[in-house]
A and B are shown apart, each in its own frame.
Chain A
Amino acid sequence: AQSVTQLDSQVPVFEEAPVELRCNYSSSVSVYLFWYVQYPNQGLQLLLKYLSGSTLVKGINGFEAEFNKSQTSFHLRKPSVHISDTAEYFCAVSGPGGFKTIFGAGTRLFVKA
């Protein structure tokens, strides 16, 4: 069975500081990994995804994530955050063959001025 753990429920950070949102997964098969962002009262927007290939994945809005198979992690990073990055971020895992997507509990990123 697959599972996703987002290690931090809330991450406060000052504007223009770097941020890392942590995500660990467990799976007995090959995985696809995703990060989504959700703004209040909206659906989820895909930030980036790892399906195969290069382990460093670049996404929208200046975010990037690195797939680390040995540590079963897929941490999300941004070198300099903006106020507008304040949102809920969800890590998710699925796999080839139509496996269901499993979502983490979410991390609330709060960017302070």
Chain B
Amino acid sequence: GAVVSQHPSWVICKSGTSVKIECRSLDFQATTMFWYRQFPKQSLMLMATSNEGSKATYEQGVEKDKFLINHASLTLSTLTVTSAHPEDSSFYICSAREDTDTQYFGPGTRLTVL
């Protein structure tokens, strides 16, 4: 149980385009989902927290107009990187939490912006 999927697993796009990443909880309802960014050989950096049906809460320094988060249902959250630039290239990981305090992580999405 407690499986979280992400799609796509990797994406390459041109600078200036937008990219959408989906995060789904497959066998449980996630009241809260989290989006992280991970740079090579570093820990996870929390970008934002989203609760179903409400606006996401962004961490300090994260541009909410650039990283659009939608948590439309209890099993789906999306992260859209708008007008992507090479510095947005990174490994993006989502996680989902039901009523307990345990987060379950997706497999991650490797974004490369050319």
Q: In the docked arrangement, what's the CA distance between A11 and B110, Å?
A: 26
Cβ of B54: which chain A residues have Cβ within 8 Å of it?
none
Nearest chain B residue, comparing its CB with the CB of A108: B41
Q: Choose the segment among B70-78, B81-89, B101-109 that binds chain A (4+ C-beta atoms closer than 8 Å).
A: B101-109
B50 contacts chain A at the CB level, 8 A cutoff: no
Interface size for A (C-beta < 8 A) is 22
**Would B93 and A43 count as touching, CB distance under 8 A?**
yes
Among the listed B32, B106, B107, which residue makes an inter-chain contact with A98, where contact means beta carbons less than 8 Å apart?
B32
Nearest chain B residue, comparing its CB with the CB of A44: B105
**Would B107 and A96 count as touching, CB distance under 8 A?**
no
Contacts A43-B93, A44-B105, A96-B101 hold; do A103 and B43 have CB atoms under 8 A apart?
yes
Cβ of B108: which chain A residues have Cβ within 8 Å of it?
41-43
Contacts A43-B6, A98-B32 hold; do A106 and B104 have CB atoms under 8 A apart?
no
**Would B110 and A41 count as touching, CB distance under 8 A?**
yes
B60 contacts chain A at the CB level, 8 A cutoff: no
In the complex, 17 of the A-B residue pairs with CB atoms within 8 angstroms, ordered by the A residue number, are A32-B101, A34-B102, A34-B103, A36-B105, A41-B91, A43-B106, A44-B105, A46-B104, A46-B105, A49-B102, A95-B101, A98-B32, A103-B43, A104-B43, A105-B42, A106-B42, A106-B43
B interface, CB within 8 angstroms of A: 4, 6, 32, 34, 42-44, 46, 49, 91, 93, 95, 100-108, 110
Whole-angstrom distance between the Cβ of B95 and the nearest chain A Cβ: 8
**Residue in A42, A45, A105 whose Cβ sees the most chain B Cβ within 10 Å:** A42
A51 contacts chain B at the CB level, 8 A cutoff: yes
**Would B43 and A101 count as touching, CB distance under 8 A?**
no
Cβ of A106: which chain B residues have Cβ within 8 Å of it?
42-43
Cβ of A41: which chain B residues have Cβ within 8 Å of it?
91, 108, 110
Contacts A49-B102, A51-B101 hold; do A42 and B44 have CB atoms under 8 A apart?
no
Starting from the known contacts A36-B105, A41-B108, A44-B95, 13 additional A-B residue pairs (CB-CB under 8 Å) come to A34-B103, A43-B4, A43-B6, A43-B93, A43-B107, A44-B105, A45-B105, A46-B104, A90-B44, A98-B32, A100-B49, A104-B43, A105-B43
